[in-house]
Structures are given as C-alpha cells and as structure tokens.
Chains A and B, each alone.
Chain A
Amino acid sequence: MQEIIIGIGVTALAGALAAVAGAAEDTESNIGSQGDPNSQVQLAPQMGYTHRIYNKAVSGEPPAYTLWVTLACGVAWAFLMMGMNAILAIVLGTVLATIVQGVYATTAYLGRTASLSKFGQPVFTDVLKSVTTVTMGHAFVAIFTTVVICYLLATVIGHPFSLPLLGIVWGLALGAAGSATGNPYYGKERQYQNQKFGAGVPISASGNIVRYAEAGQRSSIDNGFFTAKFGGPASGLCFGLIVFFELWRTVLFEHYLAGWGAVIAGAVIIIIFMVIDRYVEKWARENYGPYTEA
C-alpha cells in the first residue's frame, strides 16, 4: 500500500514537472526559433524580408532535447555514482547541458544567418547577446525538470532503465510533444499575425512574416512573450498529460489482473481522449462553419 501511495505522489510530481518542462521547452524553442516554423525565418530574407528574428534550427526540437536531456542525465548519473548529493548532481548536469545548448544556439544563429548574407540579411550581434541567454534560461528550466522526472522514475519508481537511457526516451518525447503542440501557434498565429485569424496561411504568403512591433522591429523575445500565453501552456499540458497518464495507469492498475489492469486502463484513457477529440472536431465545424460552399 505504501508503495502505491509513494507511486501516486511521484506520478503527481512528475506530471507537474512535465507540465513546466513542456511550457519551458516550447517557449525556449519559439524564442530561439527552433521548430518547423523556423523554415519561414530562413525563407523570409530570400523573399526580400530581412528581419531581427533569432534563427537556431540546426535540428528539430526532439533530437535537440534528446541530446540536452541525455547529456544532463549522463553527467548527473556520473556524479551520483561518485556519491554526490542528487540535487547538486542534477543541477550540475543541467548546467553543462545548458552551456552546450548555448554553444549550439550561438553557432547556429551565426552560421544560419551568415548563410543569408547574399540576400542582404545582417548578423545582429545585439540579438545574439540578448536572445541567446534568454533561450538558455528557458532551456535550463526544461532540462532540469525533465532530468528530475527521469531521476524519480529511476530511483523512486524503480524503472529498469538507467538515468541516461530515460533521458533519451523522455527528452525525445518532450521535444515531440512540445513541437507538435506549440509549433502551429508560433508558426501560424505569431509569425503570420498579419494574415486572417481562423484560417491557415495561404502558401502564396510564405516568407512574408511579421517583422515590426509596436515600436521598432520585432524581437524574438516578444515571440516568446506571445506564445507563452497559449502555445507554451498547451505544450506543457500535452507533455504533462503524457507523463502523468503513463505513470498513473501503471502505478495504480499494474497490480490487477496480472498486469493487464494497466493495459486496460490505458486503453480506456485512449478511448476517452478519442471521444474528446471527436467532440472538439464537431464543435469546431458547428461553430466556425465552412470557408466556402462545397
């Protein structure tokens, strides 16, 4: 019984940490412009629209976060094996991973932006100085919380995978959840704020991203400020729900029916989410109506 109660506590804590991780991950990737919408940031100067948006998409979010979280987990694990205090070990691992993230961000911004010089796109050193540290701060939060989840799974819950292996699994899942949920909000809603609300961006408008703010040119930090109101929390909710339900169904129901309890509970949760999705689609069609008559 005590084991189950501790398991429920860890499940709740891991779910909450995952929600923070998802929100920080999405905000970091939007400020740094790392996800798929960055294709437009790269395209804009080629269409004649030079800008001051950060540009660090050397890879998609999932492999990037796999690297950073696994790196942090690996370093933390090495320190733990040396007998270091767990919190200190995780913090040190996260600091190292964040420094690597900062190096990647810097070289990516310089490399990608310099490659656009033939289209008249300048490299802004003040953008590099002001935005890089902000992405690093958000990355620290996302990496730290994910490593803590992995640590709880490895030590308290007793998952057979070691800390670095859990880092690969949950780092990739964090990036996948954050980019899937948060990317459209940054890409469609923020970069193309000049397009109609409630419709996709016409392909003919590609590259014509919003480059000006209320005063002066738009900064990437403003993009994070904007997406933190919806895309970030939605990504946090997505990753939080994934971690929470994955643990919850196992911790509570694995003891029933020789392990099949957790499988059945998972199947029931999936069906509930399917019903909710079906309702959301129905609601959207009924309330927004068609764009044109068929």
Chain B
Amino acid sequence: MSAIAAKAGADAGAFQPVPSIIALVLAIIVIAVGFVLGVGQTLCLIVLGAALIAFGVHFVPVGGAPAAMGQAPGIATGVPMLAAGAGLAGLFGGAWAAELGLAVALAGGAIGGALMMAITCLMVNMSYVFGMGIPPASGKIEKDPLTGYTQPEFKSQGTEGHGLPFISYVGGVIGGLLGGLGGTLIYLELLAFYEAVMPAADAVGLAGILAVAMFLVIAVLAAYNITGTIEGPHDPKFKRFPRAIIAAILASGLCGLLALLLVALV
C-alpha cells in the first residue's frame, strides 16, 4: 500500500501486533543463536541496555525546529542527537568508573547522563525566560501533573507552547538517566567480553566505539517512533514506547551478536 492509499487519520503510532510479534520472534532467534555460540548471557544484557535507551529517549522533551522559534515546547534540537549527547556523557562517566565495579559504573553512567540533561534543560528555560521573556507552557496538557500549574493561559497566541514545563524538565532528567544507564551497560558488557581475548587498551577502544555506535542505532530507531517532536512523559506520543523497545531488542540483538562475533570467532 502506498502512502497515498494509506487510511487517512490512522494513528501512525498505534501498536501493531503482527509486525511486533514478527520482530520479537526474529529477536528470539538471534538471541538463541547467541546462546548456541556461547555469547548468550552477554547478548541478553546488551539487549537490556538497548531497551533502556529506547525507553529513555521517549522521556526527553525534544521540540526540534518549531521549538527554536518558540512555536512548540521542548529542546530545540533533534531527538537522536540530544539523547545521544546525554547518553554518551553518561557513557563517559560510566567508563571512567568501570574499575570500581559494575554497580558504581552503572550508577555513574546514569548520573552522568542525567546531569547533562539537568544542566541543558535548565539553560533552555533560562534562555526562554531571561533571554526572550517567555514563560514555559505545554501544548499537550491542561495542567502540569507535578506542579499543578495550568498551561493554556501561558501559551502565547498561535503557538503549541514553549520552553520546558517542570514535567518536561523531569522527563529530560529521567531520559538522560536511562540513556546513560543503558549505554554504560552495553559498554561494560562489551568491555568484559573483549578484555578476555585482547589487550585492555584495545578492548576499551573497541567496546567504546561499538557502544557509541549501538547507542546511535537505538536513538535513531526511537526517533523514528517519535516522529519529530515530543514533550516528555505526559505527551500522548510517549505511549508509543513499547514499539520502540521491540525494535530496539531486535536491532541490538543483531548488532550485539555481530559485535561479539567480531572476537568470538577469531
């Protein structure tokens, strides 16, 4: 069916059971191959990390080009880039703390991503409020569920809202937290696997570049699911996240398997 023939008004973000089941079956096959080749446990943790990233991206309030003109709430840049920026900042912190143990490194990665988003989101609001005299307002909800602030009267005429209401700010921090956590988990699993077969310096480099690559794959997949802009956890588009997680499981299963086979079969 062509795009023109598609049913008008169909919800592009609706959960589609058949493709989802096909994706899950394919993912199970890929993971089963991983177990047969003896890399199953590491692969499962990589897939878990990717699922965390895909879920986390949906929390990040991204307004894209309309946000740059104060026409829509969110941060004025692209979904995958912002999520990747936060996730990689988390990966930086997690990799730094890798020698302190899994729990500290994971927490360090999560906090690194959340810190990046907390500062970025604050500066976005500073820019709107003190640079342009515009108060934050959501276009998707009547009332902020966290602060109880009503939104419509603070939305300027002819726009969908602007800035980051507190719920979007918190969403950004949670998104950074999950992104940093997932990215660090992927990195640590790859690192432990590579360190067993190659010098530590090479293992760090290979694990780092593949973790970054996998992060970008998952962030871009999630961005396709979001289609453009999202305000955060209160946005109706947030409900699309199961689809992104399923896609992330399949994509990361395949990417992870290839990343592990790089050294497993050598």
Residues of A whose CB lies within 8 Å of any CB of B are: 35-37, 39-40, 60-63, 159-162, 165-166, 168-170, 172-173, 175-177, 179-189, 191-192, 197-206, 230-231, 234-235, 237-238, 241-242, 245-246, 249-250, 254, 258-260, 262-263, 266-267, 269-270, 273-274, 276-278, 280-281, 283-285, 288, 290-294
Query: Is A169 within 8 A of B154, CB to CB?
Result: no
Q: Given B114, B131, B153, which contacts A292 in the complex, CB threshold below 8 Å?
A: B153
In the assembled complex, how far is the CB of residue B176 from the closest CB belonging to chain A, in whole angstroms?
Answer: 9
Measured as residues with beta carbon below 8 angstroms from the partner, the interface class of chain B is: 35 or more
Given A173-B116, A280-B126, A284-B129, A250 and B93 contact (CB-CB distance below 8 Å): yes
| Residue B217 interfacial (CB < 8 Å) | no
Residues of A within 8 A of B95 (CB): 159-161
In the assembled complex, how far is the CB of residue A127 from the closest CB belonging to chain B, in whole angstroms?
Answer: 22
A-B contact pairs, 6 of them (CB 8 A): A198-B134, A234-B131, A249-B115, A262-B97, A263-B107, A269-B118
Given A161-B208, A188-B68, A246-B92, A259 and B77 contact (CB-CB distance below 8 Å): no
Residues of B whose CB lies within 8 Å of any CB of A are: 64-71, 75-78, 81-82, 84-86, 88-89, 91-93, 95-98, 100-101, 104, 107-108, 111-112, 114-116, 118-136, 147, 149-150, 152-162, 164-166, 169-170, 173, 201, 204-205, 208-209, 212
Q: Is the interface of A mostly helix, strand, loop or mixed?
A: helix
Query: Is B170 within 8 A of A291, CB to CB?
Result: no
Given A200-B71, A242-B119, A291 and B65 contact (CB-CB distance below 8 Å): no
| Alpha-carbon distance A191/B70, docked complex (angstroms) | 12
B120 to A, closest residue via Cβ: A180
Residues of B within 8 A of A63 (CB): 81
Residues of A within 8 A of B85 (CB): 62, 172-173, 175-177
List 5 A-B pairs, minimum CB-CB distance, nearest first: A202-B158, A176-B85, A200-B70, A187-B68, A198-B133
Residues of B within 8 A of A61 (CB): 77, 81
| Alpha-carbon distance A256/B200, docked complex (angstroms) | 26
A244 to B, closest residue via Cβ: B119
Query: Is A277 within 8 A of B122, CB to CB?
Result: yes
Q: Given B107, B126, B162, B209, which contacts A200 in the complex, CB threshold below 8 Å?
A: B162
Query: Is B68 within 8 A of A165, CB to CB?
Result: no
Given A36-B68, A60-B78, A160-B95, A176 and B86 contact (CB-CB distance below 8 Å): yes
Query: Is B81 within 8 A of A238, CB to CB?
Result: no
Query: Is A165 within 8 A of B115, CB to CB?
Result: no
Interface centre among A170, A172, A192, A206 (most CB of B within 10 A): A172
Q: Given A185, A202, A285, which contacts B132 in the complex, CB threshold below 8 Å?
A: A185
Residues of B within 8 A of A188 (CB): 68-70, 132, 134
Query: Is A263 within 8 A of B108, CB to CB?
Result: yes
Q: Given B68, B158, B204, which contacts A184 in the complex, CB threshold below 8 Å?
A: B68
In the assembled complex, how far is the CB of residue A206 from the closest CB belonging to chain B, in whole angstroms?
Answer: 7
Query: Is B69 within 8 A of A231, CB to CB?
Result: no
A63 to B, closest residue via Cβ: B81
Query: Is A199 within 8 A of B70, CB to CB?
Result: yes
Query: Is B98 within 8 A of A187, CB to CB?
Result: no
Q: Given A165, A202, A293, which contacts B153 in the complex, CB threshold below 8 Å?
A: A293
| Alpha-carbon distance A205/B71, docked complex (angstroms) | 10
Interface centre among B122, B125, B153 (most CB of A within 10 A): B122
Given A199-B70, A199-B157, A288-B135, A179 and B86 contact (CB-CB distance below 8 Å): no
Residues of B within 8 A of A184 (CB): 67-70, 76, 124, 127-128, 131-132
B154 to A, closest residue via Cβ: A290
In the assembled complex, how far is the CB of residue B75 from the closest CB belonging to chain A, in whole angstroms?
Answer: 5
Query: Is B91 within 8 A of A169, CB to CB?
Result: yes
Query: Is A201 within 8 A of B159, CB to CB?
Result: yes
In the complex, given contacts A161-B92, A181-B127, what are 14 additional A-B residue pairs having Cβ atoms less than 8 angstroms apart?
A61-B77, A160-B95, A161-B205, A173-B85, A180-B120, A187-B65, A191-B69, A203-B160, A246-B89, A263-B104, A270-B111, A277-B164, A292-B153, A294-B150
In the assembled complex, how far is the CB of residue B115 from the closest CB belonging to chain A, in whole angstroms?
Answer: 5
Residues of B within 8 A of A162 (CB): 201, 204-205, 208
Query: Is B78 within 8 A of A169, CB to CB?
Result: no
Given A201-B69, A262-B97, A274-B169, A62 and B126 contact (CB-CB distance below 8 Å): no
B70 to A, closest residue via Cβ: A200
A291 to B, closest residue via Cβ: B156
Residues of B within 8 A of A250 (CB): 93, 96-97, 108
Given A172-B84, A181-B124, A260-B107, A37 and B136 contact (CB-CB distance below 8 Å): no
| Alpha-carbon distance A189/B212, docked complex (angstroms) | 35
Q: Given B71, B82, B149, which contacts A180 in the complex, CB threshold below 8 Å?
A: B82
Residues of A within 8 A of B122 (CB): 273, 276-277, 280
Residues of B within 8 A of A288 (CB): 133-135
| Alpha-carbon distance A159/B108, docked complex (angstroms) | 14
Residues of B within 8 A of A37 (CB): 65, 68-69, 76
